[in-house]
Every structure is written in C-alpha cells, then in structure tokens.
Amino acid sequence: MSAMTTADGLPPLRDVIERHGLAAKKSLGQNFLLDLNLTRKIARAAGDISKSTVVEIGPGPGGLTRALLIEGAKNVIAIERDDRCLAALDEIVARYPGRLRVHAGDALKTDWTELIAGAHPVTIAANLPYNIASVLLVDWLETEPWPPWFDRMVLMFQREVAERIIAAPRTKAYGRLSVLAQYRTEARIAINLPPEAFTPPPKVSSAVVDFRPIAEPEPRCRVSTLARVTAAAFGQRRKMLRSSLKQLTPMAELLLREGGIAPERRAEDLSVEEFARLAAIFDRGEWERT
C-alpha cells in the first residue's frame, strides 16, 4: 500500500478504498472519482465557496468532499446512506475539525431546510448516484418557497441527462426536465468527463451541470402546475397538443387558444416561456368560462 499523502495530508483515495474495502455498489448507483485534481476542478466550478455551506450527496469515500474542503468551503454537510463509507469519512472529519458534518441517511428522505438550518449561503455540490439523480434534481427544482434554500447547484449526471437539462426546443433531448430546469434556473454544462475518470468506469460519459436559480421566473406560474402540463405534453410527445393535453383537461383546445398556441403544435415545439404561460392560464381557470 502506498505511503503517499495528497494535498490535504490524507492518503490517496485508492488506498482509502482498499483499506476500508469500499468496492462501488451498483445497487447504490456508485461510481467513485479518485483523481483529486479532477474533483478539485469540480469543486472550483462551484465558484467562491469560502463563505458557503456545501451540501454533498453520496460522498462515498470522500473524493469530492476532500476537494471541496481543500478549495476552501466554509463547511460541508455530506449525506451518505452507505454505512461502509462512514469510517473513511470520519477520517476527513478528524482532518478538518468543525468543517465537515456527515449525515448518515437517505437523501430522498432528507428534510433539507432542517438539515441546513441557519446556514447561508448554501451550495449543493455532488457526484450524484445515477439511479436517483433526476429524482433529486426535480425535487430541488420544485422547492417551495422560491427563491430556494440553495444559492447554486453543481451536479454530476450521465451526459445524456445533462443534455436533456440544457436542451433547446425542437431538439430530440428537449423535454419535461429541460422546461423545469430552465424555467427556474440558468443551467449550463461546466465539465465533461469520460467513463475512465471513474472507478468502476460506467458505460456512459458524464457531465457536471452548473445551476443558478432565477429569483423570479417569468411568466409567473405554479411550478407544480408546470410539472403537470409538461408531464401531459411530453407523455405523448408525438401527438399534437390538443390531444396530449386532454390528459390535463378535456378542454385542451380552449386552454391552448387562450395561450395563443396553435393546437396542432407538439410539445417539443413550445418554448419554456410558452409552457409557463399555459400553466399560469390553467391555474387562473378563466379560459374554462369563455
């Protein structure tokens, strides 16, 4: 085993994984990033975190956790459901007294406002477990009230998911996730990563997406209604909207007419603004009485 230490005075991650027997579990969507130079690059993509509490999901053996602390995060709250990783994370806690808190639990069941009580500003930074990445993202995008409890998100996804998040209308990747993400945030791909950057290498490429919340998205609508409208529209994306939106209301044509949208158009043709306008009109309900 290597006797080397790294920039933070801790052993290389490969040694940590070997010592604690931390083979990545497919059932937990784990793919570990072991290159500290790479994890530091991801941490730097979050900007100046010297005054931020950083929430990390699925730290595993702590590659990104260590990078966030090296790059100056005021403190880090790491949520890990794999008990095997806790001993390795405890070593980082000892190296950075008072700056790292490990929360042993499931991110899908976490009360975020309780977890970060009193912390401001908050950045979410994570190499998300692939099997729950989209679910977590939608949960954060649908946060109420808005502006949300976080000031920025820097998140790793499969490249295909990242492309769906930033996709433009009239492209194959454009869909419900694109609309929700782009309505409430400015999202861009910050870093692309090949499969060989991970241990074990996944079968797909990955990408880090940088999200900056839009304080007051326009036009104003309930995001829960926007989610319903997009679910109906993209649930049958090949159909014209007058047909696909019948899942939302039997008076789909009236709704579309009120929104100034031709009933023959399809979901992939509508801009984020047009979807938000439909959601706002649907909530008002005035079109039903015209």
Instruction: Specify binding-site residues for S-adenosyl-L-methionine.
Output: 31, 33, 58, 80, 106, 127
Over its C-alpha atoms, the chain yields an Rg (Å, rounded) of 21
How far apart CA 60 and CA 235 sit, in angstroms, is: 35
Which residue positions form the known binding site? 31, 33, 58, 80, 106, 127
How far apart CA 161 and CA 267 sit, in angstroms, is: 19
Those residues whose C-beta lies under 8 Å from the C-beta of residue 164, and which sit 6 or more positions away, are: 173, 174, 175, 177, 178
How far apart CA 190 and CA 210 sit, in angstroms, is: 6
b (16+ CB within 10 A) / e for 173-204? bbbbbbbbbbbbbebeebbebeeebbbeebee
Name the residue among 148, 172, 131 with its Cα closest to residue 223: 148
